Structures are given as C-alpha cells and as structure tokens.
Structure 1
Amino acid sequence: MTFGAWLVGNAGEGGSNERLRKFAADRGSEWPYGSDAPVDYLKVIATHAEPTERKELLDIAGKALEQWEQGRASAGSKRGWSVLSGPVLLAGFGIIIAAILAWGIFQGKLLSDIAKPELARGLITFLFAFSTIAIVILVAIATFWMDKEEVKERFGSAKDLITILIGVLGTILGFYFGAADDPYTRSTLLAANVTTSSPQVRAGDKASVTGIVLGGVGPYDLNIAFTSSAGGGLTPIDVKGFAGGRFAQEVAIASEFQPSLVGYRVTVRDANGTLTSADGTISVVAR
C-alpha cells in the first residue's frame, strides 16, 4: 500500500493527519498517490504549501511517513513468515520422516519387524495416537498467534479435521484394547479333535492319526508316542517345523504285531516353548 492510499484511511493520533489529508485533497493533481518514495510527497508540500503552514505540514508528513514505514515493515515481515513458514515446516517434517523410514529400511529391522501382526498393530496405533495428539496441541497453540478475524474460519476447519482424527483413533483403540478374549487366541495352545482314521486296524495295515493344532505361535514341533498293552510299541513320529492347522500322520503296523490296544499321545510344542497334548487309542486285531 502506498503512502497516499494509507493516508486516506489513517487519521493519525488525535486526528493529526487530517490537515495533511485536506492538503492532499486540495492538490489532487499534484499529490503522488501511487508513489512509494517519501521524497515525492515532501516535495509537493514544500512546493505548493503556503509558507505559514509549510513547516507544520512537513512535521505532520514526517510523522505520518514514519508510521507508514513501520506498518509496512511489520506487515512485510509477517507476510514473509506466513508465506515461508508453511513450506519450510512441511519440508522439514518430510525430511525427518524420510530419514526415519530410510534408516528403518536400510539400517534397522523395520520391514522384518512390521511383518509381525502384533508389532504392526502396535506401531500403527502409536503413530496414529501420537499424530492426533500432536495436531490437537498444534491447533490449540496456533490460536494464540492467529489474527482475530482468522480465528473463527481457521479453527472451524481445524475442528473438522480433529473430529475425523479422533473418530478414527477411537475406533482403533476400541478394537485394539476392547476386543473380547477368544478361547482360541494365540496365547492358548490346543491340540483338538485328535482321533484315528479307523477304531480297529488289522496287523500289517496302516492307520492315520489326525487332529488340529490351534493357537500358540508357530512353527510347531509335533510328536506322537505309542504304548501297547501287549508290550513293546510302534515307532514314535516326530515332525519339526509344522505350520499349524490340521495334521494327518500315517502309522504303519507290522504284520507280526500282536493284537492289542495301542495308546498314543500327541504332544505339540510351539515356538515359545508352550506344550499341549492329547491322547487316543488304536485297537490292533489279528490279520
């Protein structure tokens, strides 16, 4: 804004600029409304003012020009900060996030760690909660630096954003911390529905021991041990690195095996060392 335009809207302290504005209005053709150079205004006063009022008008103009310069400098610095602060802060934030991601991918174990569901859920919950709280604090602090005429409009937009973020955060926290316990959660290891393909098996034939491994943390070690009422037994079965779920292990019974009731125990150990077992029987009859 030029000094001429500024003078039209500023009466000055106690109306001190009123005489200067009247002088400018009386000499509309000579008054340099579009000039930013103070000397142009002082030159018109020195040239066209009456000798009796020239000194007073020059004093008024000097003070008015000083106020105009101060206001223009303050507005310029504020405008420069508002223009530069946004891009600078965003660029700095982007660089920090990019550096953290690059370090986590190439130097840390970020990719391998977030492949684990329990860690990925915790990381997402922490980041979303941290970001939401940071935005709320930022908006609360920023209101103290906003112009009065901007507070209502900007805070209204920020409030809409905060409402969305809190809604999503509430859903995440409610699901993550409020989920009901399941009897077959990962903390519970269970060998279920353990049985044989046939209740009676002839000597020289084959049978299968089947079941389902639930819960725990894979991979699992599966062992089937046998005992016979006639003495002796069958060769134990060991399976390392079982992925979990349904299993079916074939049992070969020699033709010379004596008819008897064979008991077996299925033992499962998960990656955390947790054990569970289930028992069953096979009736071996003569061929």
Structure 2
Amino acid sequence: MTFGAWLVGNAGEGGSNERLRKFAADRGSEWPYGSDAPVDYLKVIATHAEPTERKELLDIAGKALEQWEQGRASAGSKGGWSVLSGPVLLAGFGIIIAAILAWGIFQGKLLSDIAKPELARGLITFLFAFSTIAIIILVAIATFWMDKEEVKERFGSAKDLITILIGVLGTILGFYFGAADDPYTRSTLLAANVTTSSPQVRAGDKASVTGIVLGGVGPYDLNIAFTSSAGGGLTPIDVKGFAGGRFAQEVAIASEFQPSLVGYRVTVRDANGTLTSADGTISVVAR
C-alpha cells in the first residue's frame, strides 16, 4: 500500500493527519497517490504549501511517513512468517513422523509389536494423548501472536477442535485403563499340587518335589526346607527368579541317611513380596 492510499484511511492519533489529508485532497492530481517514495510527497508539500503552514505540514508528513514505514515493516515480517512458517513446520513434522514410521517398519519390529493388543492400545493412547496436548499448547501459544481481530474467530474454531479431541481422549483413556486386565495382579498367589515323585524313597536314591505356582506377580523365589523326625535334615533348595508355573526340584537322599519321615515346606515369594507355602512329607526307608 502506498503512502497516499494509506493516508486516505488513517486520520492519525487524535486526527493529527487531518490537515495533511485536506492538503492532499486540495492538490488533486498533483498529490502522488501511487508513489512509494516519501520524497515525492515531501516535494509536493515544499512546492505547493503556503509558507505559513509549510513547516507544520512537513512535520505532520514526517511523522505520518514514519508510521506508514513501521506499518509496512510489521506487515512484511508478519506476512513472511505466516506464509512460510506453516508449510515449513508442517513439512518438517511430516518428514519426522515418516522417518520414524519407516525406521519402525523396516528396521525395527513395529508391525510385529503392534500386532499385540496390549502394545497397540498403549501406542494409540500415547500418540493421541501427545497430539492432543501438542495442539492445546500450540493454540495457547498462538493466541499471543494473533491480531486482536483474529483471536476471537480462530480461537473459537480451535476451542471446538480441542473439545472434540479431549472427548475422544477421555474415551480412549477410560476404556484403556478400565479394560486393563492382568490376571497375575488380581489372583491370589498359590503353590498348588505340591507332592513328591514317590511317597517312599530308599536312602541313597533321589526324589523330586513337584508343584505349580499360580497367581501373584512374577518372577518368584522358591525355597524348599526339610525337617526329619530322626533329627537330621536335608540341604534346603533355593531357586531365584522362577518364572512361575510347574516346578520340579530334585532331592538327593544320602546313603547313610537314617530311615525317618522327612517333612518339607515349599515357600514361594512373588515380586510384590507376597508369600505362600505348602507342606508335604517323604518317607525315607533303609537301603
């Protein structure tokens, strides 16, 4: 916009440009409405203004030209940013996402991982939550750079979008956490079906203590302690980091072991520190 056109629509603060606007209107075709050169306007004032008002008009024109130049500079910088920043940022974001997906598909195990329902739910929840929060932050920051005329209209549209996103996010989170079901976190720790491979063992032979660990949270620590009615005992068995399920631990009976009834206790501790135990007996007879 040229200075001449700008002056027509800007009366200035408190009407400070009114005298200059009247002078321009009186000059008609002599006023260079289509010129971008400040010197052209100053030349007309210096040539055609009355001596009594020439200095005042030049002062008014100088201030008006300064305001016009500032407005042009502000509009130019803002226009350049608004024109370039959107496509550049959008393209950069798209390239980053495409690179991550390409790496995950061709170099990583993305496709095989998201085939598992629990991982797919977590990924979808994370991406949607991240996107929603990013949009909220973007809208909040953008309001500080918008013109006053744009804030109401654009923020209204952004608010509608954010409302939809938050509603969908709330549904996803509610379903995700509400549907989470891990039987190991709900069931009681239990050592079941604890028994021996043979109820009667000869001294010098071997037997196995078997059973099943159910519930609780793995991994588990397994301990088998022995007591004998003859006063002697067997070496305790300790297993760390047991994954759970069925176990079978071999017990070696020394040949000099006195015939007696050997009691044993299987104790299981899960990752949360919960304990459970089960008892049994082995009858040791002479060789």
TM-score range, shorter chain: 0.5 to 0.7
CA contact (8 A) 1:7 1:21 kept: yes
Structure 2, unaligned stretches of length 5 or more? Answer: none
Structure 1, unaligned stretches of length 5 or more? Answer: none
How big is each residue's C-alpha offset from its partner over 1:167-222, in whole Å with a ceiling of 9 and x where there is no partner? 22122122211128598999999999999999999999999999999999999999
For 1:276 and 1:118, how far apart are their aligned partners in 2?
A: 29
Give, in angstroms, the shift of residue 90 of structure 1: 0.5
Deviates more, 1:74-83 or 1:9-18: 9-18
Instruction: Provide the alpha-carbon RMSD of the alignment.
Output: 8.0
For 2:270 and 2:145, how far apart are their aligned partners in 1?
A: 58
Distance change (3 Å), C-alpha of 1:95 and 1:237 = same
Distance change (3 Å), C-alpha of 1:197 and 1:35 = farther
Give, in angstroms, the shift of residue 272 of structure 1: 19
Instruction: Provide the TM-score with structure 1 as the length reference.
Output: 0.61
Deviates more, 1:185-194 or 1:21-30: 185-194
Give, in angstroms, the shift of residue 131 of structure 1: 1.0
For 2:101 and 2:275, how far apart are their aligned partners in 1?
A: 39
For 1:161 and 1:27, how far apart are their aligned partners in 2?
A: 54
Distance change (3 Å), C-alpha of 1:181 and 1:229 = farther
CA contact (8 A) 2:185 2:217 kept: no
How big is each residue's C-alpha offset from its partner over 1:214-247, in whole Å with a ceiling of 9 and x where there is no partner? 9999999999999999999999999999999999
Q: Secondary structure at the match of 1:222?
A: strand
Q: Secondary structure at the match of 1:131?
A: helix
CA contact (8 A) 1:261 1:284 kept: yes
**Ranges of 4+ aligned residues in structure 1 off by more than 4 Å:** 180-287
How big is each residue's C-alpha offset from its partner over 1:45-73, in whole Å with a ceiling of 9 and x where there is no partner? 12222233323322321221111111111
Deviates more, 1:107-116 or 1:245-254: 245-254
For 1:126 and 1:119, how far apart are their aligned partners in 2?
A: 11
Instruction: Provide the TM-score with structure 2 as the length reference.
Output: 0.61
Partner of 2:220: 220
Give, in angstroms, the shift of residue 145 of structure 1: 2.0
Deviates more, 1:276-285 or 1:210-219: 276-285
What count of residue pairs does the alignment treat as equivalent? Answer: 287
CA contact (8 A) 2:184 2:217 kept: no
Provide the identity percentage.
99
Structural mapping, 1:111-130, within 5 Å: 111-130=111-130
